[in-house]
Amino acid sequence: MENLQLLWMGLETACSLPNLISAIFGAIIGLVVGAMPGIGSLSGVALLLPLTFKMNPTTAIIGLAALYYSNMYGGSFSAILLNIPGDSPAVMTALDGYPLARSGRAGAALSTAICSSFIGGTIGIIILTISGPILAKWGLAFGPAELTLLILFAMTSIGWLLGENP
């Protein structure tokens, strides 16, 4: 029950006027930056980060998150219309979206891209909200021995995946 109260308080905070303005501004900038080929979502966040230094931290994070998520959709503009992916995830969008645009169905391809982006982002946030506290408790239980074994496992896995040709 306490988790639902905390989620409700977070929703109230996110729906305040400065936070909504920050989200709208971040989403517009994210669409513009995402449509530019070669500038990915992390670069867009890095470009906007200096503007957030004097802002309320909650407002800044909401704006940067809106920029990041709208950038994922913005990358599909150039992928669908020009066959030039705006960022890495838009490569697969270009394979299906550009032929649709060439056949006169660019609107259908763009609307499918925005629906897919929204559904995927929403499912990801729900999974993160549910699994985050569980993973945090599990991660805090790690001591030096577990961390050493985890690092050793990671290095061994990398070596195994690379094989004889690093």
What per-residue confidence (pLDDT) applies to 166?
Answer: 62
> Per residue in 59-91, is it b (16+ CB within 10 Å) or e — as a string?
bbebbbbbbbbbbbbbbbbbbbbeebbbbebbe
Per-run averaged pLDDT (10 residues), the chain, 166 residues: 82 91 93 84 87 92 91 86 83 89 91 90 90 90 91 92 77
**Burial environment of residue 40 by CB neighbours within 10 A (0 to 12, 13 to 18, 19 or more):** buried
pLDDT value of residue 27: 93
Predicted TM-score of the model (pTM): 0.75
How many CB atoms are located within 10 Å of the residue 94 CB? 21
The Cα–Cα gap between 32 and 49 comes to 16
Q: Where are the domains of the chain?
A: 2-141
pLDDT at 115: 92
Residue 29 confidence (pLDDT): 92
